[in-house]
Chains A and B, each alone.
Chain A
Amino acid sequence: MRFESWAKRLWPLVPVLGAILVTALLLLAFGVSPGEGFGAMLRGAFGDDQKLLSVLAFWVPLTLASAGLVVAFTAGLWNIGVEGQIVMGAIASSWVALRLDAPSYVMIPLELLAGMAAGALWAALAGVLKTRGKVHEIFGGLALNNLAIIFTNYLISGPWQPPEGGTFRGTAPFPEKALLPLLGESRLSPLSVVLTILALICAYFILRGTTWGLRLKALGKNAISAFLLGVRSERELILAMMVCGALAGLGGSVRVLSWFESLRQSISGGIGFLALLVVMLSGLRVTLIPFIAFFFSAVLNGSITLQLRTQLHSALGGILTAVMVLLVLLFGDPNQLNIFRKETEVDSDE
């Protein structure tokens, strides 16, 4: 096989190696040997079962939000509001958990459904603002993110504050029967893993094999032509937002029902923004999303151990992932690079 085709095939590894190199240089600059640093990260992520389960517990909401976002991105919607949709999902689930008194098998489905509905509605709001109010979904989404966070703070310090008085940190822990069953001592709920895999399959199936998925693809590439070819753009765009919001909301539910077991101030902690990076990195390929999300979870969890071992701030993991996204966006497409460039366009001569 020719060198060029090999180079093209291995090209996706270049940004990954580049990001590791940049991080290694940073480690050196702070006087830590890269071998030791990365070793600490690896042990932090995979050192024992507990750590691996904790990586997976973080992977679940991140992958849920990413599976939703890939649908919105395909339709050309830059749903920055995904963060707020996660928060609203968490709030709705918390509301059911705090206010409803019923057996587990009633509570849990209701909590999850409430989370999905709240996320979908919050996303629909951004969608309607776009289609009817001509507010770009990026700006609408940012505003709605802030509103969701303010709403959380209000609930925590106001109506939902624990009986012993508001700490501004969180509600009282939810009753046992409201929580998702966890695997051993970990924070990982097996049910949430099943739901995440189902979400991935749904996203894949929607985009690959349904008329609706094709319509979203058409809207994302050229909304005017899609409209002229018969796509009802407003309805499809809002629906795409709602599917995204529902999955993000489910991610928020999982956060409160298994990770925190209460509603906290920073319930999402940037998972939505991280999901944006995951989807950008995937190039809208659903099959890549679980792996990229897993890598992100591992790096971020691993860097907590890195901090304990080397006194370096755990933000290093964030730097590693962020640099990688930038490098992928810069160099990810081998066809954009000069070394492979061949003029293949043919003038239509019109």
Chain B
Amino acid sequence: MKVSLIDIRKYFGDVRANDGITLHLDPGRIYGLLGENGAGKSTLMKVLSGYHQQTAGTIELDGQPAAFDSPAEALRRGVGMIYQDPLDVPSMRVLDNYLLGRDSQLALNKQIGETELLANAARLGFNIDIRAYIDTLTLGERQQLEMLRMLAFGAQVFILDEPTTGISSDQKESLFQSLRKLAHEEGKTVILVSHKLSEVQELCDHVMVLRRGKLVGEADIPCPTDTLVRMMFEDIPPQQERISRVQDAVGLSVENVSFEDDRLAVKDIHLDLHAGEVFGLAGLEGSGQRLLLQVCAGFIKAQQGRLVLHGEDVSDYSYHRMREAGVAYLPAGRLEEGLIAGLSVMEHVALSDPQPTFTINWAHYEAETAERIARYQVVGQPQTPVDALSGGNQQRTLFALLRPDVKLILLEHPTRGLDVRSAEWIWQLMFGRVARGAMILFMSADLDELVARSDRIAAFSGGRMSRVVEAEKTTAEELGHLIGGEV
């Protein structure tokens, strides 16, 4: 299907998220929509898929003007969007989710649905257990299911919003294969929204770059990466040289620790972190690396073994005692597990004060918050509610809340969803802590990030930890093998 977006404008109050964008897309091709956070990519795609209504401008499908007042309406006209967090019903089975909204008859025809689902899955090369419950599936599998649903609805245009965030490299490969098939063999129009240059280079035929709500360039792929970076950022953000600050003293000893949750048992982990060390954990979601972070944070009790932090046995500490001992835990969901929507930055500073007073001296906290906002370069005021901050600024705020004397920082996906510039800044903040002797233990799905930022790396696979490798001497490829279960 031919898609034309003509002079699309979308304003949120005074903010011009899309400021007159014109694009023409042909069937049978894969388009990349590139830009840093806040460039207007998602907004534009939400306009195209009926989630937002444009302030001005026209959408044309095969030359016919089209106006959608809902995503359902857009899908009826053949435009389907797969969100970062797929819109499915977690407590239902795969087949029921597939049939949901699809079969409008009174009685569900599971037989036909099953045949159709399996046929479509085979067509795209997906392997899905149709009896499984959604909440047992990985993000990648849920994405696949969502694509199959779109296909069943007869979608001609597939929009994928940052689809590779949080999925495994195998699933990414399988996703890319299926997208190539949809575009090149079946003539669908595919749009990949991304801020990852390598993916765009790998998958797309043509790329369009947005910056501050405007289209700033287009190019056919292959195209030199430097050109794309210059279009995205105007200037190329320098990646600062990594200086290792590892000291001789061991700061954290994980001594033959075993732990489990209801899905996975991890046995006999042994790990020594030196003061000033950055240690990266690779692995697919649910392989045990997150559990290790939670054990170190005091959420999960180790069944065996000892945790020693700077000579202090902390094996039995609760999360709050760990916190007082100098451990900080920053989970991946910034607004779900970290910040409190509705409270201001200043209220967060007051809340996380290690020596709280009975009554709150707001004037003191306002000055303190203003000082931290300046130091951490948060774009906001002390009174700004944290949910009004952008993702990068929320992450900075979380760092601004860390105690000055923090000894061990545990991080899940520290830069997920952040653009290059914000990610670089976050790491500079972390290295600042490391220079003062703090240790960082972090997990990430981004192998390049692991290699570039860590001193040492280990991978988890099915509850087992691989050998520990030096980041300087390893490659993303070796890590791939370790993630795959090689020890």
List residues of A whose CB falls within 8 A of some B CB. Answer: 209-212, 214-215, 217-218, 221-222, 224-232, 342-350
Contact = CB atoms under 8 A, between A and B. Distances in A.
Interface stretch (B170-178, B247-255, B353-361, B375-383): B353-361
B352 A229 contact: yes
A229 B84 CA distance: 27
B384 interface: no
B343 A218 contact: yes
Contacts of B342: 221-222
Contacts of A230: 320, 323, 351-352, 354
Given A221-B341, A228-B331, A229-B401, A347 B42 contact: yes
Contacts of A229: 338, 340, 348, 351-352, 401
A350 to B, nearest CB: 4
A169 to B, nearest CB: 46
A349 B38 contact: yes
Of the listed residues A209, A221, A343, A350, the one surrounded by the most CB atoms of chain B closer than 10 A to its CB is: A350
Given A210-B358, A214-B347, A347 B337 contact: no
Interface stretch (B10-18, B222-230, B460-468): B10-18
A210 B335 CA distance: 24
Contacts of B39: 349
Contacts of B329: 228
B12 A344 contact: yes
Interface pairs A-B: 8 shortest CB-CB: A350-B417, A211-B356, A222-B340, A349-B42, A225-B340, A221-B342, A344-B13, A346-B12
A225 B336 CA distance: 6
Interface in B101-118: none
Given A211-B358, A349-B37, A222 B336 contact: yes
Contact of A224 (B46, B337, B358): B337
Nearest to B357: A211
Given A229-B352, A345-B12, 11 more contacts: A211-B351, A212-B358, A215-B351, A218-B340, A225-B335, A228-B331, A231-B351, A343-B12, A346-B15, A348-B37, A349-B39
Interface in B384-423: 390-391, 401, 417-418
Contacts of B339: 222, 225
A226 B348 CA distance: 9
Nearest to A350: B417
Nearest to A223: B340
Contacts of B352: 229-230
A232 B37 CA distance: 35
Interface of B: 12-13, 15, 17, 37-43, 46, 84, 162, 319-320, 323, 329, 331, 335-343, 347-348, 350-354, 356-360, 362, 390-391, 401, 417-418
A345 B337 CA distance: 21
Given A211-B360, A214-B350, A228 B43 contact: no
A221 B12 contact: no
Contact of A218 (B15, B351, B390): B351
Contacts of B356: 211
Contact of B84 (A222, A345, A350): A350
6 contacts: A221-B341, A228-B319, A343-B13, A346-B12, A346-B17, A347-B12
B401 A349 contact: no
Contacts of A349: 17, 37-43
A217 B385 CA distance: 14
B258 to A, nearest CB: 25
Contacts of B350: 211, 214
A204 to B, nearest CB: 13
A347 B43 contact: yes
A218 B342 CA distance: 9
A344 B41 CA distance: 18
Given A349-B39, A349-B43, A342 B343 contact: no
Contacts of A346: 12-13, 15, 17
B338 A209 contact: no
A168 to B, nearest CB: 48
Contacts of B348: 229
Contacts of B323: 230
A75 to B, nearest CB: 13
Nearest to A343: B12
A214 B348 CA distance: 9
Contacts of A232: 320
Contact of A209 (B41, B359, B391): B359
A284 to B, nearest CB: 12
Contact of B37 (A210, A212, A350): A350
A277 B418 CA distance: 44
A225 B46 contact: no
A214 B360 contact: yes
Nearest to B361: A209
Nearest to B403: A230
Contacts of A221: 340-343
B35 to A, nearest CB: 8
Nearest to B17: A347
B101 to A, nearest CB: 25
Contacts of A345: 12
B353 to A, nearest CB: 8
A342 B13 contact: yes
B171 to A, nearest CB: 20
A16 to B, nearest CB: 27
Given A209-B359, A228-B329, A343-B12, A350 B162 contact: yes
Nearest to B39: A349
A210 B360 contact: yes
Contacts of B15: 346
B341 A222 contact: yes
Of the listed residues B43, B46, B320, the one surrounded by the most CB atoms of chain A closer than 10 A to its CB is: B320
B193 to A, nearest CB: 9
A253 to B, nearest CB: 27
B358 A217 contact: no
Contacts of A222: 336, 339-342
A56 to B, nearest CB: 31
Given A210-B358, A230-B351, A348 B390 contact: yes
A209 B360 contact: yes
A227 to B, nearest CB: 7
A346 B389 CA distance: 10
Nearest to B38: A349
B443 to A, nearest CB: 17
A350 B38 CA distance: 8
B83 to A, nearest CB: 11
A232 B320 CA distance: 8
A348 B358 contact: no
A232 B222 CA distance: 55
Given A343-B13, A348-B37, A217 B343 contact: yes
Contacts of B42: 347, 349-350
